[in-house]
Amino acid sequence: MKTGNALRSLLPVLVILALIAAVPLFSPSNRFLSLAISAGTNVIALYGLSVLFGQTGILSMGHAALVGVGAYAAAILARDFGVGFWTALPVAALASAVFAMIVGIPSLRVGGHHFVIMTFAFGQLLAIVLTNGGDYTGAATGLDIAGPVTLFGADMSDLTRYYLMVVAFVTAAAVASWAIIHSSYGRTLRAIRENEKLAASLGINVGRHKIGAFVVSGVFAGISGVLLAYFLGHISPSQFSSFPSIYLALMVMIGGARLIEGPLAGGILVAFLPEVLNLDPVQSRIVYGVCLIAVIMLLPDGLIGGIVRALRVAFSGKPKQEAERDAAPSEARQ
């Protein structure tokens, strides 16, 4: 009964993703597909960020660095060891997870608001190290990553096929993040978010679980990095410095971090808004910034959370914090 209830919260996302997977039937333009693929790689990282920020309540401002570790791991593996996409995927995910642990242990020790500053600093540091890494990291120009992505002998490099593959990965990420939210582990993380001291008094090892959540988000980021590297064919340090990190945080805030639809909505909105409104990059960034501020001030649960709440109010006149309970329907069971 409870599982059915939880499954129902996953259903809308699966329906939306199925619709998205059907888009190639309408022969979309290459530009649309490219935008959608880069949005998709972002969404995968955002699902990791939603576990960290939405469930555990800690924000990483260096998340693009974790994506970068995955991307560079894939590129270096391909160059030095001739390792292909599918082998690089778990290795890069592991590399990002390890990097997340290395960053997380000292950063979470300092705690509080300093954590975001620490992650920001580590992210910047990584970009500087990559820039100064000489030939090994390709310095400021970065690395090329050649080599086709094959699946069961089929070449996936074709834009439409790559698009479908990314959609599959996004689906996997959404399901994984949903599974974490509805597991007892997710409940532990929410307990830490709501009241750290209380959680600790219940015997929850707060420090270890926070680092754990950061490592989990690192796995998502690493996978996103590999997909991004193979899609772009070229990576450089500036793609993973502070500003991409800000945009990732922005996307997760705009979509709302606590709902399963949030990361998907945030990633898609931020990628396609400038197309729809026909804005140039400068104007669209101003719009993003204003949106971010507006969302934080007016809709703390993100856009989707706000819409859900507005609908609830409109239909049943209950201005309760339903949206939040939606993300955590199992809490009532305790």
- Which is nearer to another protein, 187 or 285 (by Cβ)? 285
Contact between 134 and another protein by CB under 8 A: the answer reads: no
CA angle 309, 313, 319 (to 5 degrees): 75
User: Which of 12, 90, 106, 148 touches another protein by CB under 8 A?
Assistant: 106
Taking each helix axis from N to C end, the angle separating 262-277 and 242-255, rounded to the nearest 10 degrees, works out to: 110
Q: Is 57 helix (H, G, I), strand (E, B) or coil?
A: coil
Q: Which of 274, 300, 306, 329 binds another protein (CB under 8 A)?
A: 300
Q: Does 303 bind another protein (CB under 8 A)?
A: no
Can you tell me the distance from the alpha carbon of 121 to that of 263, in angstroms, rounded to the nearest whole number? Answer: 24
Residue 321 in the binding site for another protein (CB under 8 A)? no
Query: By CB under 8 A, is residue 157 in contact with another protein?
Result: no
Can you spell out the DSSP letters for 155-213?
A: E--SHHHHHHHHHHHHHHHHHHHHHHHTSHHHHHHHHHHH-HHHHHHTT--HHHHHHHH
Taking the complex as a whole, the smallest distance from the CB of residue 296 to another protein amounts, in Å, to 5
Kindly state whether residue 117 participates in binding another protein, applying the rule CB under 8 A.
yes
Should residue 278 be labelled a site residue for another protein when binding is judged by CB under 8 A? no
Q: 162-201 mask for another protein (x: CB under 8 A)?
A: ----------------------------------------
Question: What does each C-alpha distance from 88 to 65, 73, 272, 282 come to in angstroms?
Answer: 18, 8, 29, 35
Query: How does DSSP classify residue 143?
Result: E
| Binding span for another protein by CB under 8 A among 42-50, 90-98, 289-297, 303-311 | 289-297
How many CA atoms does the CB half-sphere of 9 hold within 13 Å? 26
d(CA 105, CA 119): 11
For position 129 contacting another protein by CB under 8 A, the verdict is yes
Instruction: Confirm or reject binding of residue 102 to another protein (CB under 8 A).
Output: no
Contact region for another protein (CB under 8 A) — 90-98, 176-184, 266-274, 281-289? Answer: 281-289
- The rounded Cα 126 to chain-centroid distance in angstroms is 19
In the complex with another protein, the residue whose CB is nearer, 5 or 132, is: 132
* One residue of 198, 286, 310, 313 binding another protein per CB under 8 A: 286
Residues numbered 10 to 49 that lie near another protein (CB under 8 A) are none
Count, in order, helices (H) and strands (E) of the chain: 15, 4
64 binds another protein (CB under 8 A): no
Residue 22: exposure state from Cβ atoms within 10 A (0-12, 13-18, ≥19): exposed
Q: For residue 22, which amino acid is it?
A: A
CA distance 42 to 240: 12
Task: Pick between residue 43 and residue 253 the one whose CB is nearest to another protein.
Answer: 253
Should residue 289 be labelled a site residue for another protein when binding is judged by CB under 8 A? Answer: yes
Query: Within its chain, how far is the Cα of 70 from the centroid?
Result: 13
Interface segment toward another protein; rule CB under 8 A; list 8-16, 128-136, 152-160, 324-332:
128-136
- Residue 129 CB, shortest distance to another protein, in Å, is 8
Q: What is the binding site for another protein (CB under 8 A)? A: 59, 61, 106, 109-110, 112-114, 116-118, 120-122, 124-125, 128-129, 131-132, 242-243, 246, 249-250, 253, 282-283, 285-286, 288-293, 296-297, 300
